[in-house]
Chains A and B, each alone.
Chain A
Amino acid sequence: MGALTFLWLFPAAAALCAWLVPTPRASRAVALVSTAFLLAYSLWLMAPFSAQIGTLRLEEMCPASVLGIRYRVGVDGLSLALCWLTTLLTFLALAVPGEHPNGYWASFLALESGLLGLFVSQNLFFFYIFWEVILIPMFFIIGIWGSSGRRHAAFKFILYTFLGSLFLLVGFIALPTFHHQATGAWSWDIPDLVRTPFALPGSPLRGAAAWIYAAIALGFAVKIPLLPLHNWLPDAHTEAPAAGSVILAGVMLKAGVYGFLRILLPVFPDISAAALPWLGALGVANILYGALCAMVQTDLKRLIAYTSISHLGFCLVGMYSLTGDGLAGASLQMINHGLSTGALFLMVGMIYDRVHRRGVADFGGLDAVAPRLAFFFAFVLLSSIGLPGLNGFVGEMMSLTGMARVSLPLAALGVLGGVLAAAYALPAFQRVFWAPAGEGSATPKMTDLVMSERAILWTLCALILWLGLYPQPVIRLLEPSLSPLVAVR
C-alpha cells in the first residue's frame, strides 16, 4: 500500500475501530491517537518535498481502467498543504475535552478519511466519490450532535450541497467525454484532462465548454459558498457541534476553492480569463455582503459563519486575478481562514460547553472572568480582521494586490472589506469581553480555559503568527502548483 492510500485508508479503519470499541472513552482514545498519528504522518510526508517541488509526488495508480476510471492519487504542494490543514484541525478539534458517544468519534474519523481522499485524488471519478462521501458524516454530525435547530440545518445542508453536486456530476461526466472526442482515448485522470486542448478558441466544443464550466463552477460555488448560494452555511455552522463547525469552516469550504484551483482553472484557462470580471466581482460581493451580514448578527457562531463568507470572497478575488501573487494569496487565504476561523469556532465551542449560550448579548465583562480566553479571542479576531503581522493579512493583501493588477475598481471595493471587518468584529468583542455584564448574563457561570484548551489555542496562535510574519515557506510550497494557472504577468 502506498503512502497516500494509507493516508486516507487509515482514518477509515480507525473510524470503524472507534465505532466498534465498547466504551465511548475507548472510542475517544482511538480517535485522539489516530488523528495525532495522522498529523505526524502527514508532516512526515513532506520529506520528498524537501527539494524543488514541481509536479505530483508519491503517485500511485492502478494500471487497469474502465473508460478511463481508475484509482490514482498523488500530491503536490497545494494538496499537501490542505492535507496538513485537515489533519491538524481534526486533531485539535477532537482534542477539546468533552464526552461524546462512539458514533461521534467515528464520524469525524470518516470525515477526515473523505477529506484526505479528496485532496489526494488525481482521478475525477474518485474525486467525486470522496466529494460525496464527506457529506454523509457531516450530515450525521450536524443532525445528531448539533444544537436545537440541528435537524433543519442538517437537511438544508445536505439538500443544498447535494443539488450542487448534481451539477458537478454532469460536468464531471462531460469532461472525459470531451477528452475522448478530442484525443480518442478515455481518461478521467485530472493531469490528462488538464492537458486536453478541447476548450481552445475555435474548437467546435467551445460553446458546450462554457456550459460545462458553468455547471462545475456552480457545484464548487455551493461548497465555498458563493453568493447567492450561501444560505445553508449560517445554519449549518451555527447548529453543528463546535468540532463540526471547525471542520466545516476550516476544511470543507476549502474543498470548493480547491476544486477551482485543481480542476476548473487549469482545464479551462481561457474561459477562466474571460470569466475574470464576473467571478472577481462575485468575490468582491461575497466580501462585502458577508461583512455587512456579520455586522448585525446576534449569535456569535452565526457572526463567525458570515465572516467565512466574507473571507472566502478573498479567495475568489485572488484566484480570478490570475496573477502569481493573487493565486498565492488565494491559496494562503484558504489555510489562514482555516486556522483563524477554526480557532474562533473552537473558542465559541468552549464558551458554549460551559454556559450553553452563545448570544453576543448573553455576555459582558468576560475578560475579568476568563482573561486567557479573552487574550486568545482577541488575538485570533485580529488575525481574522486582517491585522498585518498575523496570517489573515498576508492572504488578503496578496489577493488584492493581484486583483489590483487587473482591475482597480474591484480591488478598491474589496479593500473596503477591511473597514467592515473591524466594524463587525470589534463591537461584538467589546460587548462580550469588555462591557459590563447585564441582567441574567451568562458571565458569572463562565470559567477560564483549562490546560489542554490553552495548548490547542497556543498551537493555532503560533501558526497564525508564523504565517503572518514568515509565510514564505508555504508560498514556496504552493507556488509550483499555481504557476501554470498564471495568465496575467
Chain B
Amino acid sequence: MTRAALVCLVAPLAALAAGFAFFHRRKPWSPHCGPGSTHWPILLSCAVVTASSWWLAAQMLAGAPALDRTLWTWMSAGGPGPGGLSVDFGLRVDGLGAAVLAMVTLVSGLIHAYAVGYMRGDPGFSRFFLYFHLFLFSMIGLVLSNNYLQLYLFWEGVGLASYLLIGFWRERESARRAALKAFLTNRVGDVCFLFAIFLLARSAGTLRFTEVFARLDRIPQSTLAWIAGLMFMGACAKSAQFPLYIWLPDAMEGPTPTSALMHAATMVTAGVFLMARSWPILERVPGVLDWIAATGAFTALGAAVLAFTKKDLKRILAYSTVSHLGLMMLALGAGNAYAATAHLVMHGFFKATLFLCAGNVLHHIGKSTASVDEAGGPTAGFFSKDLIFEAAVHRSAILGACAALVAVGSGLYIGRMAWLTFFGERPEQPDSLPLPSSTGEGRGEGSSDPHAHHSDPWLEWPVAALAFFSALIGLAVVPTGVLHRLILAAPLWRGEPFPHAPFDWGLGAAALAAALAGIGASWYLAMAKPSWDWQWRKRRPGLERAFDADFGWQPFVMGCVVQPVAALANFVGWTFDLRTWDRFMEAAADSFIGLSEGVSGLSRGLLNQYVGWMAAAAALFLLRLAWVR
C-alpha cells in the first residue's frame, strides 16, 4: 500500500519534471512553445495515479488497515514534547482519503483528457498542462498528508496552481485580476488555518493527525473552539463559503477545464476534506458546529438565489458550486461528516460533467450536442443530496427547511439553465439571451479558439465517460452502501458515528419532489413564460444590480477591506516613511552638519586657544576629583 500511495505522489512529480526538463528544452516556459507532446507523460501519469488510487480504494474496501507512516523529518527543533516542534513528511491512506483520492484522480484524469481537445491550438498548451498537473499533484498530496503542516503545504500548492491557471490568459486584465483576487482571498483563509496550526502545535505539541486526535482531551475546550473556528475560516476560503467565497465566481477567467477541475476535484473540495479530516476536533465543539451549519445554510441558499439570476452559463455553475459546498458544510454542521464527504464525491463527478458540457457549449456555440449528458448531473447528485437532507432533518427542522429550499432552488437554477441553454431559441429578445457570447458577459473564449467548431473526439469521450461514471456511482455506489463502507473504512473518527441508514423513501420522495418542483417551476418560467426572465430585469433594475453585486457583499469587501488596506499602505509607505520620517532623519543629519560647522569654529588651530581649553578641562577634572574625595 505504501508503494501505491507513493506512486500517487511520484508519478505526477516525474511527469512534471519530464514535461519541464525534456519537452521544454528549446523554449522552456515560453508562451510560444507549440502544442508539442508535453501532455503525453502527464496523461500517462493521470492513468497511473487513477489506477493506483482505485487500487488503494479497493484495498480499503476490502478491509485493509489504514496506512500511516513517516517518510522523512521535515523540521524539528526544540526537542520532542510541547516545548519543541517536530513535523514530518508522511503518508496517510484511510477510507476517507481513499474515497476522495479515487474521485479526484478519476475526475481529474478525464478532465485532463478533455483539456487535450479543449486547449489544442492554444499557444500556451504545454504550460497549461504543467500548471494543470501541478494542481492535481497538490491535491493528491493534500489528501495523502498525515499531518496538518504537510496538508498546509499542499493546500497552498493548490492555491498556487489555481492562481497560475486562473491567470492563464494573462494578457487579459480580467484574468490577472481574478487570479490575484483568488490568491489573496485564499491567503486570508490560509493565514487563519496556519494560526490554527500554531495553536495546535502549542497545545498538542504535535501536528500529526493520529497524535493530535489522541491528545484532544488535554486541550482546553476554548482552545479547541478557536482551532476549529480558524480551520473553518481556512475552509471557507478554499471551499468558497460565505465571507470568503468571493473569488470563486471570478475564477472562471481560466480556461474551462480549469473551472471543471477547480469546482469538481481539486480546489474547493480541499476545505470540506479538511473539515472531514478534522472531524474529531469539530465534534467536540458543538458551538462551532452550529456556526458551520448556519454558514453553510446561508451560503447554500444565497448562492442558489444568485445562481438563478445569473445569465452567464459558467457563472450559474459557479454559484451552483458555492451552493453545493454550502450544503456540504451544512451536513458537517448538522453532524454528519459522512454525508458531507459523500456529497463531495458525488458533486465532483456531476459538476465536472456539467462544466465540461458548458465548455462544449462554449466551444460549439449554437450546437447543443451535450444536452443528453446534462441529465447525469441531477441523477448522480440526488442520493448524496438526499443524505444531507436526511442529516439536516434529523438535526433540526430549520436546517431541514433550508436544505429543502436549496433543493428547490438548485432544481430551479439547473432547470433554468438547461431549458434556456438547450431549448430556449428566442431571437425576439436579443438583449436577454442567456448564451454567454451574445450577452457579452462571456469571455468569448469559443470565438477566440480557431478550432471552435471542430468536432474533436477528445472533447466528447471524456464527457461521456464522466457522465457514465456519475450515473454509475450515483445509482449503484451510494444507495448500496459501498461508498459508506469505503469512507468509514479505518477512520480517524472513533466508533462509527454515522450509521448507514437504508434509503428513506419518504425523505427521498420529499427531496425528489422538491427538486422536481424546482425544475417544474423553472420550466414554467423559462419555457411557458419566456418573457419573464428579461421582464423582471427591465422592471426592477435595482434588484438586478443587487443580484449582480451579490447583495452588496462584493462592493462591501472592496470598500471596507481592500481599499482601507491600500490606503494604509499608501500612508505608511509614502506619507509617513518617505515624506515624514526619512525627511526628518535627513534634516537631523543636515543640522548636525550645521552644528559641526559651528563647533569647528572653536578649533581654528590657534595654540593659545587650545591651551586655554586644556587648562579649563584639567581644572574641571581636578575639581571633580577633589569633590569625590
Contacts and interface: CB of A to CB of B under 8 A. Distances in A.
Contacts of A411: 195, 198
Interface stretch (A6-14, A347-355, A468-476): A468-476
A470 B74 CA distance: 5
Nearest to B175: A434
Interface stretch (A56-64, A74-82, A270-278, A320-328): A320-328
A276 B573 CA distance: 27
A401 B85 contact: yes
Contacts of B76: 472, 475
Interface string B189-212: 011001100110110000000000
Contact of B78 (A228, A231, A306, A325): A325
Nearest to B571: A292
A398 B585 contact: no
A359 interface: no
Interface stretch (B23-31, B108-116, B311-319): B23-31
B85 A398 contact: yes
Interface string B565-582: 110111011100100011
Given A325-B84, A400-B198, A401-B201, A418 B180 contact: no
Interface in B30-84: 30-32, 72-79, 83-84
Contact of A426 (B180, B568, B589): B180
Contact of A471 (B75, B198, B199): B75
A276 B78 CA distance: 18
B572 A292 contact: yes
A133 B29 CA distance: 44
B21 to A, nearest CB: 12
Interface in A174-206: none
A382 B565 CA distance: 22
A151 interface: no
Contacts of A416: 191
B188 interface: yes
Contacts of B28: 371-372, 375
A463 interface: no
A269 interface: no
A301 to B, nearest CB: 15
A401 B202 CA distance: 7
B214 interface: no
Interface stretch (B152-160, B335-343, B620-628): B152-160
A324 B84 contact: yes
Which of the listed residues A156, A398, A436, A475 has the most CB atoms from chain B within 10 Å of its own CB? Answer: A398
A404 interface: yes
Contact of A472 (B73, B83, B160, B163): B73
Contacts of A398: 75, 77, 85
Contacts of B202: 401, 404-405, 408
A472 B573 contact: no
A324 B78 contact: yes
Nearest to B188: A419
Contact of A427 (B32, B180, B199, B577): B180
A254 B601 CA distance: 41
Interface string A347-379: 000000000000000000101100110110000
Interface stretch (A105-113, A118-126, A239-247, A387-395): A387-395
A416 B252 CA distance: 28
Contacts of A368: 30-32
A427 B66 CA distance: 44
A486 B78 contact: yes
B572 A472 contact: no
Given A289-B572, A419-B187, A367 B29 contact: yes
A366 to B, nearest CB: 11
B78 A159 contact: no
B17 to A, nearest CB: 12
Interface in A239-261: none
Contact of B176 (A375, A382, A415, A435): A435
A412 interface: yes
B93 interface: no
Given A371-B30, A419-B188, A430 B78 contact: no
B341 to A, nearest CB: 25
Contacts of A231: 581-582, 585-586
Given A400-B198, A401-B202, A430 B569 contact: no
Nearest to A387: B156
A156 B149 CA distance: 43
B569 A292 contact: yes
Contacts of B577: 289, 293
B428 interface: no
A483 B198 CA distance: 21
A83 interface: no
Contact of A159 (B79, B170, B199, B589): B589
B77 A488 contact: no
B73 A296 contact: no
A296 B176 contact: no
A296 B569 contact: yes
B77 A324 contact: yes
B183 interface: yes
Contacts of B199: 404, 408
A447 interface: no
Nearest to A373: B29
B171 interface: yes
A475 B75 contact: yes
A293 B184 CA distance: 18
A329 interface: yes
Interface string B1-39: 000000000000000000000000001111110000000
Nearest to B155: A388
B597 to A, nearest CB: 16
A387 B156 CA distance: 7
A323 B78 contact: yes
A159 B173 CA distance: 45
A325 B195 contact: no
A7 to B, nearest CB: 28
A155 B163 CA distance: 43
Contacts of A365: 171
Name the residue among A306, A434, A470 with the largest chain B CB count within 10 angstroms: A434
A328 B85 CA distance: 10
B195 A415 contact: yes
A387 B163 CA distance: 13
Contact of B184 (A323, A412, A423): A423
B411 interface: no
A215 interface: no
A250 B89 CA distance: 29
B302 interface: no
B282 to A, nearest CB: 21
A471 B156 CA distance: 19
B97 interface: no
B84 A418 contact: no
Nearest to A470: B72
Contacts of A408: 198-199, 202
B167 interface: yes
Interface in A257-307: 289, 292-297, 306
30 contacts: A293-B572, A294-B573, A295-B566, A296-B574, A297-B573, A323-B84, A324-B83, A324-B85, A367-B170, A368-B32, A371-B27, A371-B31, A374-B29, A388-B152, A394-B75, A398-B85, A400-B198, A401-B201, A401-B202, A408-B198, A419-B191, A423-B184, A426-B180, A430-B167, A430-B180, A434-B176, A435-B176, A471-B74, A472-B74, A479-B77
Given A328-B77, A328-B78, A400-B194, 19 more contacts: A231-B585, A292-B573, A293-B577, A296-B573, A327-B77, A367-B31, A375-B28, A389-B153, A397-B149, A398-B85, A408-B198, A408-B199, A422-B187, A423-B184, A430-B167, A430-B176, A435-B173, A470-B72, A471-B74
In the A-B complex, list the 8 residue pairs whose CB atoms are closest, starting with the nearest.
A324-B78, A328-B77, A296-B573, A404-B198, A434-B170, A388-B153, A295-B569, A325-B85
